[in-house]
Structure 1
């Protein structure tokens, strides 16, 4: 990074952009805020390492992801203090020692002096700007500009459609809350590699090709029936395909395990009942989700939609 290496910056985005996006959006943020967290951490680490001796002996993954969590907590404390207080950054396995945590805290503590002669920093900023469009693209980006006239026309048209054809009690709550992304790492390996199949399943899942994702995840679960990550995403896919019995079988197994997706599974159990207009069963599953669960903010919003 100190050399503004395009290959290094590209590798960091490839490996961690989706994970940071998932973390931020899972804790009440949006894609733009995830991009800002990612970029602010990169620049903070660059500035700190440019001025101090920074020697990493721990793996970079827990170092960087913990820094992103800590940065998001700082932002969350400004945006929503109550939610920020409930968010507790934790370095992914194998964790970090105290020295590396101090590095991160110092890097994020305050702005560092910048020198106008630091051309490398300018190059790094340009690379990061290019990566934002690639990894954190939103519909509000520069490639989707439309005229004010078109926007107004669309709003009026949507409003008329709502008044004429859509009753408020018929809105699709499932579609409102069901969006999620399958987190994965990029792998290049043989076709028999479980990690590669997971990667292929994630690509299919994230593009909305749920039947294809189910077929790939089936292969994983046949090999390892205790693979709760595969079982969770297969359950979510099955809900979207309307196969509720099979979906609930998967999601219940994940909920009854020690998986990190345990409460996410409970949330999708609730959504499965929404698809059948069973608000009582939906509420029962929503109430199983504790306040310290990452998915709780969505569960609280769903509970409001149910008028409870």
Structure 2
């Protein structure tokens, strides 16, 4: 989003334009696709931020951080008209620009990292599975010590090759430690079976492809997740951003 566009959009949305300025802006809005997209982006982020800040007791600190970050996105040399933006809205202009870049930007697949955070839930009785090692693996996984969890899960999977729960979580540790091909192998195996982890595996397979910047394959796996699955809404959210 260009600084000039952002300035004019803020003034337009807040009713600060003179009648002739507003008329010129709306005429350009009717023909300038980029300006229209910037306006829609601003309105979307504006709605999100207002909702968040209305219930956020720490928004003052957040605003102060954004004022600092603002210096990275707004040059010191600005045209006189830029002074129309009031100082108490400077943080907000930065928020619009930063959130637009870091959250709505379609090229930034790091947005999907938030979906990778999950906990390992093991069952109390797993037959031949060594309970002490299983509990240790669970504790390590939930403490985000994925290398340790992986080391504990590998022999468990070797001893219990048909245990989809173990194989799924081993795949997650491999995903977290960037062993993507090994992770995909385990996710594929689990997904092919009639397992309660079938669609969890499909979802994390998609995330693995996103980490490898392969959006086409990610879409294939996200579309395998049915509407009645617990993973469907997350899959839909990601698809909507691809």
> How far did residue 223 of structure 1 move?
1.1
Cα RMSD over matched residues?
2.8
Partner residue of 2:65 out of 144, 154, 159: 154
Is 1:228 the counterpart of 2:164? The answer is: yes
Partner residue of 1:179 out of 113, 117, 121: 117
**C-alpha distance in structure 2 between counterparts of 1:158 and 1:181, whole Å:** 33
Is 1:198 the counterpart of 2:134? The answer is: yes
> How far did residue 184 of structure 1 move?
2.8
Q: Deviations over 1:126-185 (max 9, x none)?
A: xxxxxxxxxxxxxxxxxxx97654233234446666858x66322503312211111135
The residue aligned with 1:248 is 184
What TM-score do the two structures reach when normalised by structure 2?
0.58
| 1:291/1:146 CA distance change after superposition, 3 Å | closer
Partner residue of 1:284 out of 220, 225, 235: 220
Partner residue of 1:273 out of 205, 209, 225: 209
**C-alpha distance in structure 1 between counterparts of 2:176 and 2:213, whole Å:** 15
Higher helix share: 2
- Aligned residues between the structures: 158
SS in 2 for 1:301: helix
**C-alpha distance in structure 1 between counterparts of 2:71 and 2:203, whole Å:** 33
> How far did residue 230 of structure 1 move?
0.8
| 1:225/1:283 CA distance change after superposition, 3 Å | same
| 1:171/1:274 CA distance change after superposition, 3 Å | closer
Partner residue of 1:213 out of 140, 149, 157: 149
Is 1:295 the counterpart of 2:231? The answer is: yes
The residue aligned with 1:14 is none
The residue aligned with 1:170 is 108
The residue aligned with 2:44 is none
| 1:147/1:250 CA distance change after superposition, 3 Å | closer
Matches within 5 A, 1:6-85: none
> How far did residue 282 of structure 1 move?
0.2
**C-alpha distance in structure 2 between counterparts of 1:237 and 1:170, whole Å:** 23
| 1:285/1:160 CA distance change after superposition, 3 Å | farther
> How far did residue 207 of structure 1 move?
1.6
SS in 2 for 1:254: helix
Q: Is the 8 A contact 1:183 1:202 kept in 2?
A: yes
Identify unmatched segments of 5+ residues in structure 2. 1-55, 73-94
Identify unmatched segments of 5+ residues in structure 1. 1-144
